[in-house]
Structure 1
Amino acid sequence: MLAVLLGSCQRYPHTVRQVLSAPASAATVTNYTDSTITLPAGAHYKRGPLHTLLYGKHYRNAWYTPVNLKVLDLSTAFGGLQPLKMGGSRQTISLRAQTKDSIEYVLRSIDKEPAGALSPRWQESYIANIARDATSATHPYAALVLPEMADAIGVYHTDPEIVYIPHDPKLGEYLDEMGGTIALIERRPDGNQQDNPNMGNAEKVKSTRSMLTERLSDNDTRVDARNYLRARLFDMLIGDWSRHEDNWRWAELEPKDKVYTYRPVPRDRDNVFYKLHDAPIPWITRLLKFKPHFRTYRKRVGNLEKLNYNARHLDALILSELSQQEWLEIADSVKAALTDQVIESSFKKMPDPIYSLTAEPIIEKLKARRDNVYEIAHDYYNILAREALIVGSDKHERFIVKVLNKNEVQVQVYKTNKDEEVKDLLYDRTFNATQTKNLILYGLDGKDHFVIEGNYTPGIKISIWGGEGEDTYTSEGKNKSSRIVISDSTYGNNYKTGDKIKVVHNDNLRAKDFSGAGFLLHFYLD
């Protein structure tokens, strides 16, 4: 069996390019303006009846059906594009190009190469064949339908078009890699976007690493949690299970009172409306719990924790400040904005043959999810609420933990100066033991002061990690409980807790609990 899996599979040679050889006239064509071509996005996904029975229909018909495509003219598109460099993630091949005004666009191949992550030996095996064939579970034109819905909901977005990249000598050194490829072209969500309302006309759009570095190092930085929740609810409505950190960019809004706010820009919508588990072999992978976050798109979302696995760290950090009532209010707003008319109009952006083949069942499922978004928000709020994080910064903060009664704990975080004078309220939320089992506070660096108040034993376990910096811990209530645990070093800290609060001295704290730079280790960052 292993020999079969490792054996060469020449019957399915793979490339993300749809046209391998340049036509004889390619070198002499100087202008592709108004040119079109009719091609399928992936003719190789048309497989025999037995293969389809075992591995699934997926979106094969959308891949192998020819559509009429605009041919990209590098000389005239967006005023002229100059290729810059190749890029791409773990599966997609991409080319960055720049206009005369230094505005960058990115061309991303429609087809994928998931076997590229395998060793050279495995890339020629039957396993690679199956990995590549699984791309047919994605919808090649799905990204086109999302901008109109994102606009309606109030979420920033890219605005992709689908084009054919000809064998144009203007590609220069990238001709062999990109010539003959069907690609999505969109403005790169990075840098200055002041002329782009789809990204908030922001002067700076930054990577997740840059945003998190600012957020964790400086308490004059905020993330727009309400807008992020709108974006995340939209992710769940369209079934996007690939919302890891690198699939976001962040618009830096104009500062108010020296406070910078970041608003999310989702990108790389390759895995929406996914359709994998429609045959015996994909079902076996699901039973074996292989890649459990690969979720087939159905009317009901199903396991929200698995669907949102890739987004779990960002969600825990950013959404912690929102109450359950805020979640439900935002869910109602999303539902009201995503009308039947908006949904139906959005799907008209697909090429006509693809719309006829695939749109109706997806629209039906999306409407069902939209109608159920209140319950989706309710359930995912409760998942995140079980273990809630409150994360400070490398600057100075005062954390006030008030045990209001046996079931409720209020946490407030204030910005302070180096003399511990309170400046601004940064965080205020009350947690209930019926929803929250663990409450974890991270002070990170800076001179932080943790104050524990109240006369009750909390029903919630409270863990406080002071982190780097000289911290002070004060207990002002009568409660004496081992359910409140402080972890910090023996040196440089001031403990005014008596024997009422459990203190664990640790002079070798985990890097991720130590400072803002250490806390970045929680995240998947390229």
Structure 2
Amino acid sequence: MSFLLFVRSPTVLGGTLASCLLLSACSAPAAPVVTPPIIGPDSTVHVAAGTQYLRGPIHRFFWGKHYRQVWATPVTAPVFNLRTAVPGGLTPIQEGGSFQTRNLRLLDRNGAQYVLRSVDKDATKALPESLRDGPIGRLMKDQTSVINPYGAYIVPPLAAAAGVYHTNPRLVYVADDPALGPFRESFANALYLFEERPEGDQRAVSSFGRSAKVESSRKVFTNLVYNPKHRIDARWYLRARLFDMWLGDWSRREDQWRWASFPASGGATVYRAIPRDRDHAFFKFDDGVFTHIIGWVKSNYQSFHQKIRLGDVEGLNRAARPMDKSLLVYLTAQDFQQVADSMQRSLSDDVIRGALALWPKEVYAEAGAEFDENLRGRRAQLPAVAARFYELLAREVEIPGTDQSERFVLEPTGPGQLRVSVYSLAAGRPDSLTGRRTFDYRQTRSIKVFGLGGNDSFELRGLPDHRFEVGIYDGAGQDVVELMSPTSVAGKAANVMVYDSGDGNTIKVAKPVKVESYVPAATEFDAAGWLLRHRLF
């Protein structure tokens, strides 16, 4: 969670409230000493994920009820045996994880990788060491209770029904096993989710599309902006994103994804999204006085209720916005509605009940009825959420090229309509259409086209409707910008600006098209710069 940054900002909270935060944190009891369960001959244990999150009524009033009771409820889990978990056993090879989740990477005899992901979290690792054991650290650790510790457990059957790739986590208990080797002290005596690691050759895993090559976001986005033969299956990604919203999973940064690659005609590669890390699905944050105030200011901290806040779909998707703007740029409103309608039909009441039945009976008794009601209520909203999601992305559009040569054609097709087509250029071959979309001024007010690298051409086949604000950014290379016809469809002066970096471009335009000299920002210049928008360079 990025909760840390908010707590440390008294200018946001105000002095009085900040003082209350610290007083509440100081009054929070220290975490109890947890005694490891006795491992019996049946190779199962009965253990709670986090009794330390139980708090008294005053603390809950100010800092939320959250999922504290679920954390404190003992569940039955099988003891994980590295020697027998998969045929030939597993070897621990590397510790990893984010600022809050501890991961242990495991390798089987065939080179396939798996991972143990801690059920309990500790976001205090993001703090300086001097603060970790103080009031801020204790408060930060306490707010781990906003996460349902078993949320990821029910996602696979829901994702399969929705047509979304997924990992297959299993709840296990890791005992004090000598086979952990040097990782024994750090990982023994705790609950984990054991799952496949989506990387490399996954032809044996149907939930990863049986892809022969699963790659990281950094690798895939680099391929996308360096070579137009690489492309994303945009409708597949949209389906995954609507599924995120249905689950209330707001933390969907680039590193929360892997990508299944598939060969396509002409030597092309198509990527399909594999969401991973469901720690923030089913988030429950706004049920305390202070957390409600924080959630009102930090609109990405949206709780998993029966209704999705249609007025703040932007906040729910803020973490993934750079990805959404890049990867969904050629999809239409009809695409969004078709995907939403399809998902709504697929996520039946039986599917929801079947997924919740996978929970340990103790967890289902605590949260099953609430989740059933919430998932059905949010399902009914999927078409409306998709429509709002489209509206937000359509307002200000950014269309990137690659570091190869492209031809961008901007062509008015009627009053208030502008069609943008992007073609890949290759010597000795016809231009290849890589993307096209027609924009309507009632939905879109700004269209920015970025040539990035390569020697690109920009063709204005008429002046766009003046209600569009059009920006042409040349980027690297020697580019050509040409107004093919000065006629304005709407009969009024167009609102087009050509940004010329002055590196040898040829610009053939007449009024009212404006030309402005500029120094490109790194994120506007070439493929490497574009990756900065995705925090991947």
Residue among 37, 49, 52 paired with 1:44:
52
Query: 1:330: how far off?
Result: 0.9
Query: 1:54: how far off?
Result: 2.1
Query: What one-letter code is carried by the residue in structure 2 that aligns with 1:141?
Result: Y
Query: 1:199: how far off?
Result: 0.4
Query: 1:509: how far off?
Result: 1.3
Q: Distance in 1 between matches of 2:334 and 2:25?
A: 57
Structure 1 position 242 matched with structure 2 position 251: yes
Name the residue aligned to 1:298.
305
Mapping 1:53-132, distance limit 5 Å:
53-79=61-87, 80-132=89-141
CA contact (8 A) 1:455 1:477 kept: yes
Name the residue aligned to 1:29.
none
TM-score, normalised to structure 1's length?
Answer: 0.93
Q: Which moved more, 1:202-211 or 1:33-42?
A: 33-42
CA contact (8 A) 1:490 1:505 kept: yes
Name the residue aligned to 2:528.
517
Query: What one-letter code is carried by the residue in structure 2 that aligns with 1:447?
Result: N
Mapping 1:176-187, distance limit 5 Å:
176-187=185-196
Query: 1:255: how far off?
Result: 3.0
Structure 1 position 322 matched with structure 2 position 331: yes
SS in 1 for 2:495: strand
Residue among 293, 299, 315 paired with 1:284:
293
1:72/1:501 Cα in 2 relative to 1: closer, same or farther (>3 Å)?
same
Mapping 1:317-356, distance limit 5 Å:
317-356=326-365
Name the residue aligned to 1:212.
221
Residue among 461, 464, 469 paired with 1:461:
469
Q: Distance in 1 between matches of 2:21 and 2:262?
A: 55
Query: What one-letter code is carried by the residue in structure 2 that aligns with 1:505?
Result: S
1:282/1:258 Cα in 2 relative to 1: closer, same or farther (>3 Å)?
same
Query: What one-letter code is carried by the residue in structure 2 that aligns with 1:70?
Result: P
1:228/1:63 Cα in 2 relative to 1: closer, same or farther (>3 Å)?
same
Mapping 1:431-446, distance limit 5 Å:
431-446=439-454
CA contact (8 A) 1:59 1:136 kept: yes
Aligned length: 513
Query: What one-letter code is carried by the residue in structure 1 that aligns with 2:536?
Result: L
Query: 1:58: how far off?
Result: 0.8
Q: Distance in 2 between matches of 1:148 and 1:54?
A: 36
CA contact (8 A) 2:25 2:139 kept: no
Q: Distance in 1 between matches of 2:330 and 2:434?
A: 9
For structure 1, the residue ranges without an aligned partner over 5 or more in a row are 27-31
Name the residue aligned to 2:421.
412
Query: 1:454: how far off?
Result: 2.0
Query: What one-letter code is carried by the residue in structure 2 that aligns with 1:511?
Result: A
Q: Distance in 2 between matches of 1:388 and 1:473?
A: 20
SS in 1 for 2:329: helix
State the percentage of identical aligned residues: 36
Query: 1:71: how far off?
Result: 0.3
For structure 2, the residue ranges without an aligned partner over 5 or more in a row are 1-17
Query: What one-letter code is carried by the residue in structure 2 that aligns with 1:512?
Result: T
CA contact (8 A) 1:6 1:127 kept: no
Query: 1:277: how far off?
Result: 0.6
1:20/1:423 Cα in 2 relative to 1: closer, same or farther (>3 Å)?
farther
Query: 1:243: how far off?
Result: 0.5
Q: Distance in 2 between matches of 1:223 and 1:6?
A: 49
Structure 1 position 365 matched with structure 2 position 380: no
Mapping 1:231-270, distance limit 5 Å:
231-270=240-279
1:65/1:4 Cα in 2 relative to 1: closer, same or farther (>3 Å)?
closer
Name the residue aligned to 1:386.
395
Query: 1:5: how far off?
Result: 3.5
Q: Distance in 2 between matches of 1:13 and 1:218?
A: 54
CA contact (8 A) 1:240 1:269 kept: yes
Name the residue aligned to 2:513.
501
Q: Distance in 2 between matches of 1:513 and 1:445?
A: 10
Q: Distance in 2 between matches of 1:62 and 1:22?
A: 19
The two structures, once aligned, show a CA RMSD in angstroms of: 2.2
1:455/1:103 Cα in 2 relative to 1: closer, same or farther (>3 Å)?
closer
Query: 1:20: how far off?
Result: 5.9
Q: Distance in 2 between matches of 1:3 and 1:276?
A: 18
Name the residue aligned to 1:487.
499
CA contact (8 A) 1:456 1:478 kept: no
Name the residue aligned to 2:9.
none
CA contact (8 A) 2:285 2:295 kept: no
CA contact (8 A) 2:295 2:302 kept: no
Query: 1:126: how far off?
Result: 1.4
Query: 1:256: how far off?
Result: 2.3
